A and B are shown apart, each in its own frame.
Chain A
């Protein structure tokens, strides 16, 4: 039985358990007053069936492959057993690939098995592998289903009026929530650590000082010893300035436009305009960034260059300004949508208080509404900022890949994210400094966005303390 039908069967069993438990509880509660309503007994039976059975399926599915591989390897002839580890793992991959092939083609090339070289050994191993895999599938189904049946029988047996099914269900649900939360947290921690370790590996090749303070970025390292210009330099400063320059331009565009449109929508727009304008603005955030990149590269960048040249200023065809402007348009909804929500949430009684002192509408907005809504607005801006820092596509298309150390918005620059992409695309050994540099950059990016988040939390909390 394959895994999907197996899971579905377990689900059906649990459903049956639910109805059986409910039914039994209802029957039992006709004489005695039951602690929990019948459907809680049903839930308890279903959960007690579902969770352990699914756990078994999960663990089995994860573990079976490596267990089977190890079994097959153990049966291999001594000649292969004595091979060095790297060759052994190559051989393991070979027979696994063969197994996949045979599985797909449903055809065993018998003549290959008869020959006596290592290919034949691989074919035999592949066959053994397939055989064991099938066996494991069957065993998995048998164990899971009998466990589920056993659990249903046992939990149904326990259904009695005095069983605190409601509280038990509550505990199980709480446990599920905790597990979900831990999975999210552990994943994050895992990602952070893997990036951290790769970055540390990078710093064995390139000293951190050079990476952090170097002003020259040119990650081409020699693949062969006779290549020229192959030393590579990994100064991240040009990337950092590029990132900050483009994000700053984007924020200069997005913060005023977003904030003003939020104020207009929340305070001045009629309900009709509001219901149309708000979703339309939010569409801006849903446009794929590659479309923005197109727009930036083909429309905005040439326009900027021509305008600059008509003033006699030289501008490159790919410019930070083009990327920043378009990115600014893209992140407007992050600022406007959140700001609109918090501005609308400022209590009417505060506005009334201001009007009653003879303030005009714009005075009230400037001096009472905006300050009261500030934590939310700051949150929106920081969200927009981290979106801008993480944006890749627009930069690739409109700002170029040249790692120049410049603050001139008309020049072409590159950003951390774009460089990560270029570092990881292309043929390079995985442990070369060029590839590892991507992790160091990733770590840097993570530190920057984390700092932004902590900053925003701090701002919001400080503000709350002051005004609540």
Chain B
């Protein structure tokens, strides 16, 4: 056998290939992100953000991002780990307020209203902008009480019958009702991972928010549960505005109207999902979606 037939056995050839790959990557990393390419802004947005900076202590995590989220649309945020997707998402319902070291700057508007204005109540904001987390986090309560939690907090049901109705409706919309209708008083923590995540979605839509933020909602789930939740997201986008962080390009392509690509705290490119995946304009985006980087 010759060395040409087995190129891997030749150390010099291998290192040359590696070097080439490194060169490519370095070239990709050297591309500076001066300005977001694509279309960060839309007509009559549900949420609009301008010149967002976020710091953890002194360390910047988000650097000058401006982005709109369209009404009744799904926006997918993709990008390598640690690039600030979660941080940006948590700004939108002021969840970062609960982290003492976190400092948020910039202009955030929900329906044109400044959500970081001094008089704004983050607690009230969060009842309008709900959030589903990466790891299913049902409360250690019954399924019923999990869904009723927010409804009771905000006094959205006048009586028990109305509460029952809201709970059932929310579970139905989350596609969970038929599976749990006989066990509503069993603990929510006893459900499977996928069921728990749908329970968390039901809990979120029970208080009828206007926006739902989802941070990698299917990363802990199997393909079947994932497909169910993706279906749900598409359905929900008829009435809600949704922002989702995902590591799955296929998921972004399946569920979202627009896709934003983040890179090291910056927003590189935003566009209609079709265009991002067919004709990315920025080399960093292209590298990422073709799997050459990240």
Contacts and interface: CB of A to CB of B under 8 A. Distances in A.
Interface of A: 347, 349-360, 363, 367-368, 371-372, 466-468
Given A356-B130, A466-B187, A371 B137 contact: no
B139 A363 contact: no
13 contacts: A351-B98, A352-B95, A352-B131, A352-B133, A353-B200, A354-B149, A355-B123, A357-B127, A358-B125, A360-B123, A368-B140, A371-B141, A466-B187
A169 to B, nearest CB: 42
B153 A357 contact: yes
A349 B137 contact: yes
A323 B171 CA distance: 54
Interface string B180-204: 0000000101100000000010011
Contacts of B190: 468
A358 B140 contact: no
B221 to A, nearest CB: 16
B126 A355 contact: yes
- Of A349, A355, A356, chain B has the most CB atoms within 10 Å of the CB of A356
B188 to A, nearest CB: 9
Nearest to A270: B100
Contacts of A359: 123, 149-150, 153
Interface of B: 93, 95, 98, 123-127, 130-131, 133, 135, 137-141, 149-150, 153-154, 187, 189-190, 200, 203-204, 207
A357 B212 CA distance: 11
B266 to A, nearest CB: 26
Nearest 5 A/B pairs, CB to CB: A358-B127, A467-B140, A357-B150, A356-B131, A353-B137
Given A352-B137, A355-B95, A356-B126, 5 more contacts: A353-B200, A356-B93, A358-B126, A368-B139, A466-B187
B137 A358 contact: no
A356 B95 contact: yes
A173 B242 CA distance: 59
Contacts of B203: 353, 357
B124 A350 contact: no
B167 to A, nearest CB: 14
A118 to B, nearest CB: 78
A359 B150 CA distance: 7
Given A360-B123, A467-B187, A467-B189, A354 B139 contact: yes
A352 B153 CA distance: 15
Given A352-B133, A372-B140, A358 B207 contact: yes
Contacts of A367: 139, 149
A189 B187 CA distance: 39
A468 B153 contact: no
Contacts of B93: 356
A467 B189 CA distance: 6
Nearest to B206: A357
Contacts of A355: 95, 98, 123, 126
A303 B124 CA distance: 49
B117 to A, nearest CB: 18
B187 to A, nearest CB: 5
A368 B190 CA distance: 17
A358 B124 contact: yes
B90 to A, nearest CB: 9
